C-alpha cells in the first residue's frame, strides 16, 4: 500500500475515529463536571443572564478598548490566519470534494490561484504568530509542547498542501499523501491539546458571561 | 451516418487562461534565432512536446506568418517544409505513409537539414552521374537511386 | 549467427538518408528527446545490429499486443523488419505448436545472453503455478527459463510490470509481476492497460538506437515516457489552475472542456505519455474524449477506489470511497464510544471534586 492510499484509507479512518472519540469524551467529560454553587442571590433574571452569556461570546471576541494597544496586534494576527484557514478548508475545490464524500453535497469553489495566495498569506501569518510567541517574553514562558506542536502540525498541513498543489519537492501523489497524513496526525492530536479550543471557546465564553451576569457584572 | 469527433459538442473554451505558452515559445524562437545569427548554431523546437491547444497553435501560426518557400519531401509519406514569415524559422511537418503527423517541428536554421545534401551524397551523386554519361546518358530515368 | 547492421540492412532496402533522418526525427519527437538528437540516433542506429527478441504472453488479455500492433511511428512492421528480429511471438508468428517452441529454443541458444525478452501478462504462482501453462510447462517456469539467457527483460503492460488486473484483490491465482520472479537482470516496465503503442515500440527503438536501456524511474519505467504525470502535460491543466471543473459528464463545464478532477480523473497521480504521444496515431487521449484518466499505468490501479471519486476524497468504506451514510455511521459510533468514556470520566472527576471540596453528595450537581 502506497503512502497516499494509506493516508486516505486506513490512516484517515483511524484518525477520524480517534478524533470523534476524543472530542466527545472531552466535551461530555467537562459538560458533566460539578460546577461551583452560586452562593449569592442572583442579581439579574435568568433571561438577562442568558442574554449576558450570548453577549459575552461577542464581546470577548473583540479586543477590549482599554487593552487594544497591547492585544490588538495579536488578535488581528489570530483572526486573519483563522479566516484564511477557513477559506482554504471550505473553498478549495479538492477540499470541497473531500467534504462532499462525507456530507453528500458540494458547493462552488474559489479559483485555485486565489486559494494559493490565501494559503501563502495564512502560512506567513502563522510564521508571524510563532515569531511573536518566541519573542514575547511572557508568552514564551507560558508556552509548552502543546502550543508548539499544535502550531507545527497546523503549519505542516498548510505547507504540504501548498507543495502538493505547486508540485514542488516530489511527485504529486507523495506530496498529497504527506498532506493527508499530516491532516490525519492533526485529527489525532486535535482532542489531545489546545486545538480543542475550536469546541470549547464559544461555550466557555457563554458560561462565563452567564455566571458574571447572574452575579450582576455583565461584560 | 457515422458520428465524427467534430460532431460532438465538446470544444475548448477559448481565451480562458490559455495562450501563456505561446508567448513563451515565441521568446524561445527569438532567442534561438539570435544564437543562430551569432554562432551559426541551428536548433529545433518540437511542437508536440509542448502542451499547446489547437487555439495556441493557430495563434503561433498567425504570429509567425507565411514566408516565400514551401517544399514537399516525398519519402514514405509527405513532409512539408514551409518557411515562416520570420527568416530562418521553418515549420516542418513530417507525415507517415498513412498521412498521420509523426513530427511537428520548428527548425531554426538557414536551410532545414532535411532539404540539405550531405557531403558523402555529393560524392556518390558525382559517381552516379559519371556512370550515366559513360552509358550514353540515355538510361538515366530507369536507374534506381 | 551474424546479422547485418541496421544501416546495411536499410541501404539494401533502398532507405535514403533523408528517409532515415525523418524516421529518427519522428522517434526523437515521440520520445520527447531534444529534437537535435534525431541525427545522433541515426548514426548509432546505422552501426547497430538487430537484436533477437523473444516475446512471451502469460496471464493477459492480448490487449497489449493489440496495442503494440497499432503503433504508427515506428510501425510494428518497420520495427520488426528493420530494427529488431522478432524470433518468437506465439500470436504473430506463422509457426505453431512444436515448430514455434523449436524456433524459440533455437533463438535462445543462438543469442544466449543477448536476446531481449518481452513479457506481457502477470505470472500466476498460486498452487504451484497451475493457473497458467503452455506446451506442458507452467508460465512461471517458462519465465525463469527464458529469463536466464536474456540481456534484459521488457515488461509490456501493467500486468507484467506490476501485476495488473490478475493481481487485483483477491488475486485468486497468486499473480505476480515479472520483477518478483526474475532477479539479476535489467527489467524495464512499460506499464499501461494497455501501454501506448508508440511507448512500446519507442522503448525498443531507443534500446537499439542508443545501445543501452533507457533511464528508469523508481518503478522501473522509462523516464522519457513516464517522467511526467498526465496532469502536468494535460491541455486542460489551465482549467484546474483556474478552479474550473466539470461536475458531471454532461454539464456546461464538461462541454467546455474543463478539468475532470472532480469526476475522478487520476491524471495527477498517473505517470504516462498519453497526454503527449496520445493514441491511435496521435488522434487523442481519454481526457480529450471527455473521460478522466483511470490511472492504468500505476501499480494496483484496480484497487485504489472508484475511478469516479476525486483523488482528494477519503478512500475507505465498502465501495473504496466513503459514502455519507458510512461516514455518519462511523462518526456516530465513535461519538457513542467517546460519550460513554466521557460519562465515565465525568463520574470519576465528580467523585474527586466531592472529596476535594469535602462536600456532601449533591444529586443536582450544583
C199-235 pLDDT, tens digit each = 888 888 888 877 788 889 989 999 989 988 999 889 8
CA neighbor of C60 nearest in space, from C113, C124, C114: C124
Q: What count of CB pairs under 8 Å joins A to C?
A: 154
Segments in chain C forming alpha helices (H): 6-12, 17-30, 37-47, 63-68, 76-78, 97-110, 139-148, 158-162, 197-210, 223-226, 237-241, 252-255, 274-277, 324-357
**Bigger pLDDT: A29 or B139?**
A29
CB of C324 within 8 Å of a chain A CB? The answer is: yes
Query: How buried is A179 (Cβ within 10 angstroms: 0-12 exposed, 13-18 middle, 19+ buried)?
Result: buried
CB of B89 within 8 Å of a chain C CB? The answer is: no
- Across the interface, whether the CB atoms of C238 and B73 are under 8 A apart is answered no
Residue A216 has a pLDDT of 81
Residues of chain C with pLDDT under 70: 1-4, 7, 11-12, 14, 31-32, 46, 73-81, 318-320, 359-366
> Chain B residue closest to C26 (CA)?
B103
Chain C residues with at least one Cβ partner in B under 8 Å:
14, 16-19, 21-23, 25-26, 28-30, 32, 35-36, 38-39, 72-73, 75, 233-235, 237-239, 241-242, 244, 254-258, 275-276, 281-282, 284, 290
> CA–CA separation, C198 vs C79, rounded Å?
11
- Cβ atoms of C63 and C193 closer than 8 Å: yes
Q: Which long-range CB contacts under 8 A does A91-96 form with residues at least 24 apart?
A: A91/A115, A93/C243, A93/C245, A93/C261, A93/C262, A94/C261, A94/C310, A94/C311, A94/C312, A95/C312
A-contacting residues in C 333-362 (Cβ below 8 Å) = 334-335, 337-339, 341-343, 345-347, 349-350, 353-354, 362
Mutate to test the interface with B, among C73, C239, C277 (most CBs of B within 10 A): C73
> Chain C residue closest to A16 (CA)?
C331
DSSP result, B41-91: --EEEEGGGS---HHHHHHHHHHH-EEEEEEEEESSSEEEEEEESSTTEEE
- Across the interface, whether the CB atoms of B101 and C282 are under 8 A apart is answered yes
Q: Which three cell numbers stand for residue B81?
A: 517544409
**Bigger pLDDT: A15 or A55?**
A15
- Chain C hits for B48, CB-CB cut-off 8 Å, are 29, 276, 282
pLDDT at residue A35 is higher than 90 = no
Q: How many Cα atoms sit within 13 Å of C163 on the Cβ side?
A: 18
Tallying the residues shown for chain A, one arrives at: 219
- Across the interface, whether the CB atoms of A93 and C349 are under 8 A apart is answered no
Q: What is the pLDDT of residues A122-161, one digit of tens each?
A: 999 999 999 988 998 888 999 999 999 999 999 999 999 9
CA neighbor of C355 nearest in space, from A29, A34, A131: A34
pLDDT at residue A43 is higher than 70 = yes
pLDDT at residue A111 is higher than 90 = no
- Chain C hits for B101, CB-CB cut-off 8 Å, are 282
DSSP result, C207-223: HHHHSSPPPB-TTS-BH
- Chain B hits for C29, CB-CB cut-off 8 Å, are 46, 48-49, 102-105
Residue carrying the nine cell digits 453577549: A55
Distances (CA, A) of C315 to A5, A181, B14, C119, C299: 7, 13, 35, 32, 16
Measure CB to CB from residue B94 to each of C26, C32, C235 and give the nearest one. Answer: C26
> Chain C residue closest to B75 (CA)?
C19
Residue B5 has a pLDDT of 55
Confidence of residue B7 (pLDDT cuts 50, 70, 90): low
Angle at C226 between CA C221 and CA C229, to 5 degrees: 140
> CA–CA separation, A117 vs C82, rounded Å?
55
Q: Roughly what angle, to the nearest 10 degrees, separates helices A112-135 and A68-91?
A: 150
C-contacting residues in B 5-34 (Cβ below 8 Å) = 5, 9-13, 16-18
End-to-end CA distance of chain C: 100
Confidence of residue B137 (pLDDT cuts 50, 70, 90): low
CA C187 to mean position of chain CA atoms = 14
Distances (CA, A) of B122 to A67, B125, C12: 92, 5, 20
- Chain B hits for C238, CB-CB cut-off 8 Å, are 16-18
In chain A, what percentage of residues exceed pLDDT 90?
A: 45
> CA–CA separation, C366 vs C363, rounded Å?
8
Confidence of residue A68 (pLDDT cuts 50, 70, 90): confident
Rounded to two decimals, the pTM is 0.74
CA neighbor of C304 nearest in space, from B38, C48, C296, C11: C296
- Across the interface, whether the CB atoms of A172 and C268 are under 8 A apart is answered yes
> CA–CA separation, C237 vs B17, rounded Å?
10
> CA–CA separation, C106 vs C83, rounded Å?
20
Q: Is the peptide bond before A5 cis (omega within 30 degrees of 0)?
A: no
In sequence order, the β-bridge partners of residue C72 are: C75
Residue C364 has a pLDDT of 47
- Cβ atoms of B45 and B29 closer than 8 Å: yes
Q: What is the pLDDT of residues B27-86, one digit of tens each?
A: 989 999 999 999 988 888 888 777 777 778 888 889 999 999 999 998 878 999 999 999
CB of B36 within 8 Å of a chain C CB? The answer is: no
Minimal C-alpha gap between A36 and chain C (Å): 6
Residue C140 has a pLDDT of 94
Amino acid at each position: 500500500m502506497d503512502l497516499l492510499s494509506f493516508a486516505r484509507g486506513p490512516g484517515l479512518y483511524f484518525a477520524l475515529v480517534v478524533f470523534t472519540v476524543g472530542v466527545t469524551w472531552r466535551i461530555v467529560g467537562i459538560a458533566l463536571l460539578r460546577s461551583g454553587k452560586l452562593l449569592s442571590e442572583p442579581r439579574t433574571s435568568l433571561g438577562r443572564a442568558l442574554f449576558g452569556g450570548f453577549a459575552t461570546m461577542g464581546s470577548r471576541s473583540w479586543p477590549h478598548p482599554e487593552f487594544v494597544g497591547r492585544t490588538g496586534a495579536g488578535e488581528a494576527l489570530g483572526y486573519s490566519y483563522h479566516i484564511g484557514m477557513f477559506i482554504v478548508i471550505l473553498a478549495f475545490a479538492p477540499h470541497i470534494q473531500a467534504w462532499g464524500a462525507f456530507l453528500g453535497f458540494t458547493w462552488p469553489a474559489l479559483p485555485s490561484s486565489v486559494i494559493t495566495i490565501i494559503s501563502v498569506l495564512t502560512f506567513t501569518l502563522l510564521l508571524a504568530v510563532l515569531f511573536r510567541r518566541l519573542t514575547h517574553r511572557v508568552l514564551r514562558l507560558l508556552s509548552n509542547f502543546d502550543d508548539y506542536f499544535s502550531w507545527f502540525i497546523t503549519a505542516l498541513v498548510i505547507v504540504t498542501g501548498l507543495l502538493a498543489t505547486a508540485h514542488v519537492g516530489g511527485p504529486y501523489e507523495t506530496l498529497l499523501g504527506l498532506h493527508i497524513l499530516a491532516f490525519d496526525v492533526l485529527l489525532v492530536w486535535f482532542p489531545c491539546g489546545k486545538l480543542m479550543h475550536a469546541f470549547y471557546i464559544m461555550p466557555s465564553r457563554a458560561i462565563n458571561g452567564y455566571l458574571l451576569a447572574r452575579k450582576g457584572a455583565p461584560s | 451516418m457515422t458520428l465524427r469527433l467534430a460532431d460532438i459538442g465538446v470544444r475548448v473554451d477559448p481565451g480562458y487562461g490559455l495562450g501563456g505558452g505561446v508567448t513563451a515559445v515565441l521568446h524561445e524562437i527569438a532567442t534561438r534565432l539570435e544564437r543562430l545569427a551569432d554562432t551559426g548554431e541551428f536548433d529545433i523546437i518540437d511542437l508536440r512536446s509542448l502542451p499547446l491547444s489547437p487555439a495556441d497553435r493557430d495563434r503561433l501560426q498567425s504570429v509567425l506568418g507565411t514566408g516565400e518557400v514551401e517544399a514537399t519531401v516525398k519519402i514514405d509519406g509527405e513532409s512539408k517544409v514551409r518557411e515562416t514569415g520570420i527568416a530562418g524559422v521553418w515549420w516542418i511537418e513530417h507525415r507517415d505513409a498513412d498521412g498521420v503527423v509523426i513530427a511537428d517541428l520548428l527548425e531554426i536554421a538557414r536551410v532545414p537539414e532535411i532539404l540539405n545534401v550531405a557531403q558523402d551524397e555529393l560524392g556518390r551523386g558525382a559517381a552516379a552521374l559519371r556512370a550515366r554519361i559513360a552509358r550514353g546518358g540515355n538510361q538515366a530515368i530507369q536507374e534506381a537511386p | 549467427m551474424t546479422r547485418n547492421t541496421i544501416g546495411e540492412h536499410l541501404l539494401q532496402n533502398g532507405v535514403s538518408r533523408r528517409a532515415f533522418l525523418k524516421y529518427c526525427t519522428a522517434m526523437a519527437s515521440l520520445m520527447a528527446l531534444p529534437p537535435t538528437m534525431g541525427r545522433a540516433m541515426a548514426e548509432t542506429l546505422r552501426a547497430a545490429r538487430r537484436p533477437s527478441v523473444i516475446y512471451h504472453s502469460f496471464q493477459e488479455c492480448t490487449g497489449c499486443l493489440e496495442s503494440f500492433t497499432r503503433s504508427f511511428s515506428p510501425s510494428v512492421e518497420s520495427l520488426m523488419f528493420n530494427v529488431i528480429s522478432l524470433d518468437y511471438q506465439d500470436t504473430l508468428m506463422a509457426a505453431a505448436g512444436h515448430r514455434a517452441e523449436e524456433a524459440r529454443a533455437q533463438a535462445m541458444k543462438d543469442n544466449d545472453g543477448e536476446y531481449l525478452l518481452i513479457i506481457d501478462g502477470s505470472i500466476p504462482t498460486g498452487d504451484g503455478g497451475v493457473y497458467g501453462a503452455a506446451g506442458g510447462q507452467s508460465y512461471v517456469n517458462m519465465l525463469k527459463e527464458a529469463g536466464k539467457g536474456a540481456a534484459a527483460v521488457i515488461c509490456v503492460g501493467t500486468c507484467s510490470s506490476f501485476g495488473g488486473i490478475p493481481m487485483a484483490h483477491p488475486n485468486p491465482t497468486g499473480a505476480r509481476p515479472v520483477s518478483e520472479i526474475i532477479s539479476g537482470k535489467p527489467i524495464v516496465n512499460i506499464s499501461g492497460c494497455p501501454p501506448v503503442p508508440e511507448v512500446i515500440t519507442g522503448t525498443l527503438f531507443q534500446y537499439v538506437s542508443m545501445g543501452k536501456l533507457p533511464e528508469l524511474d523508481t518503478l522501473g519505467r522509462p523516464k522519457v515516457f513516464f517522467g511526467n504525470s498526465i496532469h502536468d502535460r494535460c491541455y486542460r491543466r489551465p482549467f484546474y489552475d483556474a478552479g474550473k471543473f466539470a461536475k458531471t459528464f454532461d454539464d456546461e463545464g464538461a462541454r467546455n472542456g474543463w478539468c475532470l478532477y472532480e469526476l475522478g480523473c487520476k491524471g495527477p497521480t498517473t505517470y504516462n505519455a498519453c497526454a503527449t504521444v496520445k493514441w491511435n496515431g496521435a488522434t487523442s487521449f481519454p481526457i480529450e474524449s471527455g473521460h478522466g484518466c483511470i490511472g492504468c499505468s500505476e501499480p494496483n490501479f484496480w484497487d485504489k477506489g472508484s475511478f469516479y471519486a476525486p483523488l482528494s476524497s477519503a478512500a475507505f468504506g465498502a465501495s473504496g470511497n466513503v459514502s455519507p451514510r458510512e461516514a455518519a455511521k462511523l462518526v456516530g459510533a465513535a461519538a457513542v464510544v467517546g460519550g460513554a468514556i466521557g460519562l465515565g470520566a465525568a463520574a470519576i472527576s465528580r467523585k474527586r471534586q466531592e472529596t476535594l471540596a469535602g462536600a456532601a453528595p449533591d444529586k443536582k450537581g450544583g
